[in-house]
Amino acid sequence: MNRAWLPDLIYVDGRFQADRTVVCDSTGNIVEIVGSSEAPHAIRLSNRALLPGMVNAHSHAFQRVIRGRTEHRSQHSTDSFWTWREQMYAAANRLGPEEIYAASRMAFLEMALTGITAVGEFHYIHRAPDGSAYSDPNLLAREVIRAARDVGIRIALLRVAYARAGYQTEANPLQVRFIEESPETYLKHLEDLVNTPAPDDGMDWVGVAPHSVRAVPLDYLKTIVEFANEHDLPVHMHVAEQPAEVSACIEEYGRSPVALLETEGLLSKRFTAVHAIHVTPKAIAAIARADAMVCACPTTERNLGDGVVPVDAYFNAGVTVALGSDSHVQIDLLEDARELEYHLRLQKTARNVLAPADDASTSALARRLFDCATVSGAKSIGYKGGRLEPGAPADFFTVDLDDPSIAGALVDDLLANIVFSGSRATVRDVVVGGKRIVEDGRHFSHR
């Protein structure tokens, strides 16, 4: 049986339209978008604007537990990504399967409440705290998937390969839960996860995620990326997040991370370089030539002091840029979208840096940033959502047009108000696969 949804405004084809109804079928897909008179029994969403669900392309759900616990001076004279990592590892080694589930569920619940309907989960805790294997090597991955299903959002479980601490670096005892030393072991566990019987409802799927060039040696990397390409799986990898990573890669291979990936034929349309901050113009051109993507995580990148993603250069080269909330110091993809622009404004002492040169409309910049949070994220994790059109999943969210943060906006500049000024409280309803999981700001599990 079809179900229809009628808000005041719907964001379709890059603009808001009135008197439009989204009609979904029993499988959870959009079948048509029609005038209100053609769907007389629609669910009325008064004082609401309806937009496609957002896609969080890079998440480490368990890191939700350290929110607020690393914002202080450590015993080191200078704090950095690397000192933060020690604190994160300490937390990771205290979490059992139920704690992994609970942390993931909390992160995914917060995502749902902010309009995120799908997540790419970069999952790398595989073993018990002492480094021994669970009887099911995918036990923790399954707990993460269970958490997403219980919340009601879609998940691409990007199973991480992690083989070593780094080039010519002694094994780190804090990483024993991550390590699968051979590509054969990794691929066996990946295939077990892929082949596990599950409902054919499009709520979860699997991708390949070599952690980084420092964590995965080249032969291992080539083996698992080849597998991903053969099976048409998304590939995500941390790339050039820190200058030290770039220096180590040059020391080991005589090439930067992106140059290594290009010359070894590892970049492709399925490949997403996460962060990709410390790159050269040649590296950006290489990513563009391969039709590979970038996932920026601005909230985490500024929290860790990573640096600023050169999104202007990526856009100029035609590279698709997705967004991720990464370490979950804050979960708000609209905030991440606006930070793409705001970080560059601070860096370049200029405004509207990412605004398209050929479009002077008031929402042109907002459209570009919102695409990063929707269609680009969907493309990155191998998902058909991110837009409202027939055949797409019925995944969307609504905002309250009377919310103080956007009240008074005109239709033509409503998207700019939502992207640049909307608060998380503006999100009122969230629908995934045609099922409402958030109603009037409350998740179904809390109603």
Q: What pLDDT was estimated at residue 1?
A: 79
What's the per-residue H, E or C state across 275-297?
ECCCCCHHHHHHHHHCCCEEEEC
Q: Are 162 and 124 in contact (CB under 8 A)?
A: yes
**Whole-number Cα distances in Å, 196 to 14, 205, 215:** 39, 11, 27
Asked if residue 319 lies in contact with residue 295, where contact means CB atoms within 8 angstroms, the answer is no
- Of 276, 336, 273, the residue nearest 303 (C-alpha): 336
The two structure tokens encoding residue 251: 């020391």
Contact call for residues 241 and 275 (beta carbons, < 8 A): yes
Which of 159, 171, 150, 91 lies closest to 124 in space, CA to CA? 159
Question: Looking at residue 144, what is its pLDDT?
Answer: 98
The pLDDT of residue 71 is 87
- Where do the H-state alpha helices sit in 114-256? 139-151, 183-194, 218-230, 243-253
In this structure, the number of other CB atoms found within 10 A of the CB of residue 195 comes to 9
Q: What is the pLDDT along the chain (447 residues), one digit of tens a residue?
A: 799 999 999 999 999 999 999 999 999 999 999 999 998 899 999 999 999 999 999 999 999 999 988 888 877 768 888 888 888 998 899 999 999 999 999 999 999 999 999 999 999 999 999 999 999 999 999 999 999 999 999 999 999 999 999 999 999 999 999 999 999 999 999 999 999 988 889 999 999 999 999 999 999 999 999 999 999 999 999 999 999 999 999 999 999 999 999 999 999 999 999 999 999 999 999 999 999 999 999 999 999 999 999 999 999 999 999 999 999 999 999 999 999 999 999 999 999 999 999 999 999 999 999 999 999 999 999 999 999 999 999 999 999 999 999 999 999 999 999 999 999 999 999 999 999 999 999 999 876
Q: What pLDDT is stored for residue 73 in this prediction?
A: 81
Q: What is the pLDDT of residue 107?
A: 98
Rg (CA), the chain: 21
Q: Residue 7: what pLDDT?
A: 98
Residue 406 carries which side chain, given as an amino acid letter? I
Domain spans of the chain, in order of start: 3-52+387-446, 54-381
Determine the pLDDT at residue 198. Answer: 85
Q: Cα torsion at 123, 128, 224, 157 (round to 10°)?
A: -30
Q: What is the pLDDT of residue 82?
A: 82
Residues written for the chain: 447
3-class DSSP state for residue 419?
helix
Q: Please tell me the distance from the alpha carbon of residue 364 to that of residue 49, in angstroms, as a whole number.
A: 18
**Domain covering 3-52+387-446 in this structure, CATH number:** 2.30.40.10
Closest CA to 55 of 401, 295, 270: 295
pTM for the full predicted model:
0.97
Would you state the pLDDT for residue 261? Answer: 98
Q: Which of 254, 268, 347, 280 is nearest to 307 (CA)?
A: 347
Q: Which residues face 432 on adjacent strands?
A: 435
Residue 118 near residue 378, CB atoms below 8 Å: yes
Under DSSP, is residue 55 helix (H, G, I), strand (E, B) or coil? Answer: strand
Residues forming the active site: 275, 326
Question: What's the pLDDT at 215?
Answer: 97
pLDDT of residue 447: 64
CATH superfamily of 54-381: Metal-dependent hydrolases (3.20.20.140)
